[in-house]
């Protein structure tokens, strides 16, 4: 088929891209772009440096780290953080519209949108080609992105106006204008990382074609030795992620203060870190590791008893889970959202509902035979479902299907 047998031209449109990024959405865009580039396709990436700075991002200690087939366009305005603020309030990529259009006018076979929260929904109407949108979070149906009501609990009965105020964010009046509905009609397919995410978006009113397409973790490599981390003889459970309330890491501190059988190692940073450190003060078995690179995380996963995912929110997927599975490490996860879906379908871990249950679940994983069996289950599921080859086969097949369908969005807009 001509569309996928020849080398394609892709444009990734996203708010965040490494090193100007915070979480899993930017990591995934980087992984996808580089896997496509390694296979001979050309990739342009449009992202917003101003948005990264607005959200508190520190000056990166490194530059872009990409394949030669990738061209990155880091958007900056003379107005700096006022530009993404204007976008947040209007839905338009104000002060950056001309540059975005200039890049898209180069012509692409595929324009793939990711987290465009601070580029605005209007950007979905720009350019030409097959148009895809990955649902990394819930921004299309939730002003705060995360369906975590009042920063306290998973949202089941939305109160969007009051909730936005509780996050100290001004209301986005354009959400009530029909702008989002009009813009999303220009997208050929929305890609949901999990069935849970797909169903939740449909339940929340996204009337659009949604395809379940799980993410991936690139092929493994051993990476450098972790000489700066003394693993010692004590077993450890691992948390990886942003230290924010919705990720639930703070719920682990009191549990491990009273759990002498193993240590808790916490890899990540965030606004909840100071309070977590205060709560953990004096505990000999809770360690804060700060930010860790991908190579370092692979080693940390590999030697952990298990990864703990205590998220209090409706995760759309959970890339850290399949990163652990790649290393044959099982997962202990809260029975909520896509975390439960991945663990149940893979057989690669155990679930818990209440925090009081967690010590018993940890005991189960300290049994070497059980840990090995669950880790092997997770690894086999990873090899079936979450490799780069598995993802790109489905991804390119979907592009081929849309192209042959001769969608109106495959023509100039």
CA angle, 400 then 114 then 315, to 5°: 110
| Cis preceding-peptide flag for 3 (omega within 30 of 0) | no
pLDDT confidence of residue 3: 53
Tell me: do 187 and 309 sit in the same domain.
no
| C-alpha distance from residue 104 to each of 128, 141, 185 (Å) | 8, 26, 19
Residue 225 in domain? no
Confidence label for 256 from pLDDT (cuts 50, 70 and 90): very high
Closest CA relative to residue 304, chosen from 374, 396, 390: 374
Q: What's the total number of domains in the chain?
A: 2
CA 394 – CA 379 distance, rounded (Å): 20
Do 253 and 194 sit in the same domain of this protein?
Answer: no
Percent of the chain whose pLDDT exceeds 90: 86
Q: Which of 291, 303, 146 is nearest to 235 (CA)?
A: 303
Residue 233, pLDDT score: 62
Q: Could you give the CA distance from residue 199 to residue 154 in angstroms, rounded to a whole number?
A: 15
Concatenated DSSP letters for 276-294?
HHHHHTT-TTEEEEE---H
Integer Cα distance of 162 and 295 in angstroms:
41
Q: Please indicate, yes or no, if residue 253 is contained in any of the structural domains.
A: yes
* Separation between Cα atoms, residue 298 and residue 307, nearest integer Å: 12
What is the distance between the alpha carbons of residues 291 and 269, in angstroms, rounded to a whole number?
A: 6
Reported as a pLDDT band with limits 50, 70 and 90, residue 81 is confident
Do 72 and 103 contact (CB within 8 A), yes or no?
Answer: no
Q: What is the pTM of this model?
A: 0.91
pLDDT at 408: 54
How confident is the model at residue 221, as a pLDDT? Answer: 52
- CA-based diameter of the chain, in Å? 64
Q: Is the domain of 40 the same as that of 163? A: yes
What pLDDT score was predicted for residue 223?
A: 42
Residue 234's pLDDT is: 86
Same domain, 182 and 195: yes
DSSP, residue by residue, 318-346: -HHHHHHHHTT--EEEESSHHHHHHHHHH
User: Is 159 among the domain residues?
Assistant: yes
Whole-angstrom Cα distance, residue 216 to residue 322?
A: 8
> Residue 338 belongs to a domain with what CATH number?
3.40.50.2000
| Residue 49 belongs to some domain of the structure | yes
Tokens of 234: 């004590």
Q: Say yes or no: 51 and 181 in one domain.
A: yes
pLDDT digits (tens, 9 = 90+) for 343-392: 999 999 999 999 999 999 999 999 999 999 999 999 999 999 999 999 99
pLDDT at residue 409 greater than cutoff 90: no
According to DSSP, residue 59 is labeled P
Q: Are residues 394 and 305 in the same domain?
A: no
- Residue 406's pLDDT band, with cuts at 50, 70 and 90, is low
- Judged against a pLDDT cut of 70, whether residue 413 lies above it is answered with no
Q: What is the pLDDT of residues 208-233, one digit of tens each?
A: 999 999 999 998 654 443 333 444 56
Residue 61 lies inside a defined structural domain of this protein: yes
Taking all residues of the chain, what is their mean pLDDT, rounded to a whole number? Answer: 92
Residues 63-86, mean pLDDT to the nearest whole number: 94
Residues 211 and 248 in one domain: no
Neighbours of 290 (CB within 10 A): 10
- Whether the predicted pLDDT of 265 surpasses 90: yes
Are residues 197 and 289 both part of a single domain? no
In a domain, 43, yes or no: yes
| Tokens read off for 187 | 């997208």
DSSP structure class, residue 19: T
Whether residues 279 and 297 fall in one domain? yes
Question: From its phi and psi, is residue 178 left (phi > 0), alpha (psi between -120 and 50) or beta?
Answer: left
Predicted local confidence at residue 230, as pLDDT = 45
Tens of pLDDT, residues 148-188: 999 999 999 999 999 999 998 899 999 999 999 999 999 99
For residue 267, tell me if it sits in a domain: yes
The verdict on 320 and 404 lying in the same domain is no
Based on the fold, state whether residues 264 and 197 are members of the same structural domain. no
Q: Which domain holds residue 400?
A: 2-216+388-410
* 153 and 15 fall within a common domain: yes
297, part of any domain: yes
Give the integer Cα–Cα distance in Å for 39 and 254. Answer: 47
């Amino acid at each position: 088929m001509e569309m996928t047998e020849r080398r394609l031209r892709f444009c990734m449109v996203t708010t965040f891209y490494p090193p100007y990024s915070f979480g899993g959405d930017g990591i995934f865009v980087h992984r996808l772009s580089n896997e496509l580039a390694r296979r001979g396709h050309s990739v342009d990436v449009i992202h917003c440096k101003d948005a990264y700075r607005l959200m508190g991002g520190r000056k990166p200690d490194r530059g872009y780290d990409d394949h030669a087939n990738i061209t990155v366009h880091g958007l900056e305005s003379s107005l700096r953080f006022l530009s993404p603020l204007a976008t947040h309030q209007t839905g338009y990529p104000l002060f950056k519209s001309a540059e975005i259009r200039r890049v898209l006018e180069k012509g692409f076979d595929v324009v793939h949108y990711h987290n465009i929260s601070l580029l605005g929904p209007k950007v979905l109407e720009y350019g030409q080609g097959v148009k895809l949108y990955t649902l990394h979070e819930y921004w299309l149906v939730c002003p705060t992105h995360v369906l975590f009501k009042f920063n306290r609990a998973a949202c089941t009965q939305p109160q969007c106006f009051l909730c936005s105020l509780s996050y100290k964010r001004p209301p986005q009046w354009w959400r009530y204008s029909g702008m989002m509905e009009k813009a999303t009609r220009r997208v050929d397919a929305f890609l949901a990382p999990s069935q849970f995410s797909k169903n939740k978006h449909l339940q929340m009113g996204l009337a659009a074609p949604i395809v379940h397409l799980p993410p991936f973790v690139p092929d493994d490599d051993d990476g450098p030795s972790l000489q700066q981390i003394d693993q010692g003889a004590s077993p450890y459970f691992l948390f990886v992620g942003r230290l924010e309330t919705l990720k639930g890491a703070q719920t682990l501190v009191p549990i491990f203060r009273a759990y002498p059988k193993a240590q808790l190692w916490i890899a990540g940073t965030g606004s909840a870190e100071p309070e977590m450190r205060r709560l953990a003060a004096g505990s000999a078995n809770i360690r804060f590791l700060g930010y860790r690179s991908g190579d370092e995380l692979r080693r940390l996963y590999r030697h952990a008893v298990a990864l703990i995912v205590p998220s209090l929110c409706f995760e759309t997927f959970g890339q850290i889970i399949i990163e652990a599975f790649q290393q044959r490490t099982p997962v202990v996860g809260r029975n909520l959202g896509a975390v439960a879906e991945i663990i149940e379908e893979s057989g690669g871990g155990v679930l818990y509902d209440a925090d009081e249950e967690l010590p018993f679940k940890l005991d189960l994983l300290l049994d070497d035979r059980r840990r090995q069996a669950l880790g092997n289950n997770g690894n086999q599921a990873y090899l079936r479902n979450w490799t780069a080859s598995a993802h790109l086969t489905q991804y390119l097949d979907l592009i081929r299907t849309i192209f042959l369908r001769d969608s109106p969005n495959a023509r100039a807009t």
